[in-house]
């Protein structure tokens, strides 16, 4: 029964703090590994830990899905969405990347209206509009010299929103562990394909660190990078454990607001590890994004119509 909201809130705060550590590890190691090598190692570690947990707790591992085509589409969206996010960490602060990622509830609301026939009133439309103003302020675009790579976290948010919209539809028959295993198997499979076609670094003709990260040869520095990658997989697994436990023991509408603590944790982690302090402009944008997200939550609760606040954000 979902009745332990204080414990759920504590779990979500811990989960978001660990997520900020995972993001910091990506930013810390990206110059010594390839993007999909990192993705492969992180996911392999996570699926081993998840499978071990299911076996230890004697839970049945179910691979069959009742929605094969939607599942494949969800896996692809999730995989490439977080590829965009990981790429953005090579040139963007943790706080900025995560703040932009939190535009996902706005996309989720829009997609729920389009595909799930949910009703969105003028108030929530206004909140979505304010949220995107926050995104605009953080990006601070100079349209003559705008770098489209800055849209990485926003692209991740859109892909994530598509994935969560599909999850809302498929969760009636596919349980949460089945869907997580699908994400992991999909990520490992796609990463292996990238290894086959780009793993020798044959397309890495760039001097820019971001493009080198995307196309670098695999296993160039395994003794240094892989311990960090494994730790990354462990932190991701513990993060998901705390987040999903929070949603299991508490009301989703009570704990979902506290996912915004990830932005605060990212500011703290970014400052302590990388000496990154967000600008005043970023703080204003963050405030607008959080305010808009909180208002969407309030309106959903008032109408008893949860769209963007009933699923874990990551």
> What pLDDT score was predicted for residue 268?
94
**Confidence band, pLDDT 50/70/90 cuts, at residue 169:** confident
**Confidence band, pLDDT 50/70/90 cuts, at residue 307:** low
Q: What is the mean pLDDT of residues 291-314?
A: 69
Q: CA–CA separation, 140 vs 270, rounded Å?
A: 20
Output the pTM of the full model.
0.90
Average confidence score pLDDT of the chain: 89
How confident is the model over 128-147, as pLDDT tens digits?
A: 999 999 999 998 877 667 78
Structural contact between residues 290 and 260, judged by C-beta atoms closer than 8 angstroms = yes
Q: Among residues 204, 269, 242, which one has the least CA distance to residue 37?
A: 204
Given a cut of 60, is residue 309 above it in pLDDT? no
Q: What is the mean pLDDT of residues 136-165?
A: 87
How confident is the model over 103-132, as pLDDT tens digits?
A: 988 898 888 888 877 788 888 889 899 999
Given a cut of 70, is residue 306 above it in pLDDT? no
**Alpha-carbon distances, residue 302 vs 112, 154, 297 (angstroms):** 17, 28, 9
Of all residues in the chain, the percent with pLDDT exceeding 70 is: 93
How confident is the model over 255-270, as pLDDT tens digits?
A: 778 888 999 999 999 9
Q: Taking the CA atoms of 23, 29, 34 and 39 in sequence, report the sign of the dihedral they define.
A: negative
Of all residues in the chain, the percent with pLDDT exceeding 90 is: 60
> What pLDDT score was predicted for residue 121?
82
> What pLDDT score was predicted for residue 305?
60
**Confidence band, pLDDT 50/70/90 cuts, at residue 301:** low
Q: CA–CA separation, 69 vs 58, rounded Å?
A: 29
Which is more confident, 283 or 313?
Answer: 283
Show Cβ contacts of residue 264 under 8 Å, excluding neighbours closer than 6 positions: none
Given a cut of 60, is residue 237 above it in pLDDT? yes
Structural contact between residues 269 and 20, judged by C-beta atoms closer than 8 angstroms = yes
Q: What is the mean pLDDT of residues 39-45?
A: 96
**Alpha-carbon distances, residue 114 vs 16, 43, 81, 205, 270 (angstroms):** 30, 32, 20, 42, 37
DSSP symbols for 121-165: -HHHHHHHHHHHHHHHHHH---TTS--GGGGHHHHHHHHHHHHHH
Is residue 219 helix, strand or coil?
A: coil
Q: CA–CA separation, 293 vs 103, rounded Å?
A: 8
> What pLDDT score was predicted for residue 304?
62
> What pLDDT score was predicted for residue 108?
84
- For the chain, domain boundaries: 5-303
**Alpha-carbon distances, residue 217 vs 113, 203, 238, 262 (angstroms):** 43, 9, 29, 32
Given a cut of 90, is residue 247 above it in pLDDT? no
Which is more confident, 1 or 53?
Answer: 53
């Amino acid at each position: 029964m979902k009745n332990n909201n204080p414990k759920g809130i504590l779990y979500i705060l811990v989960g978001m703090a660990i997520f900020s550590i995972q993001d910091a590890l990506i930013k810390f190691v990206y110059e010594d590994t390839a993007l999909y090598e990192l993705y492969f190692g992180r996911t392999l570690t996570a699926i081993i830990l998840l499978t071990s947990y299911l076996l230890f707790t004697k839970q049945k591992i179910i691979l069959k899905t009742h929605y094969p085509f939607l599942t494949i589409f969800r896996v692809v969206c999730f995989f490439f969405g977080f590829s965009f996010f990981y790429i953005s960490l090579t040139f963007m602060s943790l706080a900025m990347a995560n703040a932009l990622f939190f535009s996902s509830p706005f996309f989720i609301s829009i997609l729920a209206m389009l595909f799930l026939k949910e009703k969105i009133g003028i108030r929530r439309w206004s909140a979505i509009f304010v949220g995107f103003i926050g995104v605009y302020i953080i990006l601070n675009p100079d349209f003559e010299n705008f770098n489209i790579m800055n849209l990485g976290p926003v692209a991740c948010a859109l892909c994530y929103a598509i994935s969560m919209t599909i999850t809302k539809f498929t969760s009636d028959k596919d349980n949460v562990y089945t869907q997580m295993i699908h994400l992991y198997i999909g990520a490992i499979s796609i990463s292996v394909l990238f290894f086959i076609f780009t793993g020798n670094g044959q397309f890495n003709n760039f001097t820019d660190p971001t493009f080198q990260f995307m196309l670098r040869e695999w296993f160039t520095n395994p003794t240094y990078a892989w311990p960090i990658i494994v730790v990354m997989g462990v932190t991701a697994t513990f993060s998901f454990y705390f987040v999903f436990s929070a949603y299991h023991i508490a009301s989703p509408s009570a704990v979902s607001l506290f996912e915004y603590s990830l932005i605060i944790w990212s500011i703290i982690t970014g400052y302590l590890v990388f000496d990154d302090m967000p600008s005043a402009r970023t703080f204003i944008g963050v405030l607008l994004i959080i305010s808009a997200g909180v208002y969407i939550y309030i309106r959903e609760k008032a109408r008893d119509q949860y769209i963007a606040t009933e699923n874990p954000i990551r």
